Amino acid sequence: MTLTNTTWRDNTLLISSFTLNNAPAGLSLLSVQYLSATAAQIVLSFDNTDFDANILNFSVTINALEINNGSNVTTNTLTIIAYIECPLSIQIQGSQLILNIQEVSGANLYKVFSSTDPYGVYTEISTSGIFDPLVPNRWSYTVPSDERRFYRSAAVRNP
């Protein structure tokens, strides 16, 4: 974050002087680091609490005690886009793997994630395959022959 028309009072920023506004459940401040007289890095932590609605007005308020202008300052609002986890079914047709993702009402798009470990980290692979233009929740790609993979999917409702 970068301050405009003011500076930090000193280079010791207290995390208790920063407030998250309209944050989803599970999002919290992890640390605040002074970078310069007008800049700081805010690190957020998220505990993976599930939420399905977009957050349209997330912001951070800085207590007046931290800055030289004498009043609280609030950042511009940010939008946090929710990923709605979706059940899926898998079928193989020849060399094509097809994921049929359960439709979510109002979804603008779907995303596909994959991992070699069912309990590991899943990486987005949506662009590795093709979403069917006539059935936007059907995704296919060439079956990888060298490894076993696990899949997850999510729907997105853009604001």
Domain ranges of the chain: 15-80, 83-156
- What is 129-151 written as a DSSP string? SEE-SSSTTEEEEEPPSSS--EE
Helix (H, G, I), strand (E, B) or coil at 126: helix
Rg (CA), the chain: 21
Secondary structure of residue 105 in the 3-state scheme: coil
Closest CA to 62 of 12, 18, 28: 18
Whole-model pTM?
A: 0.74
CA 95 from centre of chain: 32
Q: Which numeric CATH code is attached to 83-156? A: 2.60.40.10
Spatial contact of 3 and 39, defined as CB atoms under 8 Å apart: yes
Task: Look up tokens 């070699």; give the residue.
Answer: 116
Closest to 38 (Cα-Cα) out of 11, 18, 72: 11
Residuewise pLDDT in 10s, the chain (159 residues): 788 889 999 999 999 999 999 999 999 999 999 999 999 999 999 998 888 899 999 999 999 999 998 899 999 999 999 999 999 999 999 889 999 999 999 999 999 999 999 999 999 999 999 999 999 999 999 987 777 899 999 999 987
